[in-house]
Amino acid sequence: MQANLFTASATGLSPQLKTETRLALTLAIQRICQRATAEGKTRVRPATLRKMERHVSELRKAMRASR
For the chain, which residues make up each domain, given as ranges? 8-66
pTM recorded for the entire structure = 0.68
Closest CA to 49 of 30, 23, 22: 30
**How sure is the predictor about 63, in pLDDT bands with cuts at 50, 70 and 90?**
confident
For 10-56, the pLDDT digits (tens) are 556 666 678 889 999 999 999 999 999 999 999 988 899 899 999 99
State the Cα–Cα distance between residues 42 and 35, nearest whole angstrom: 9
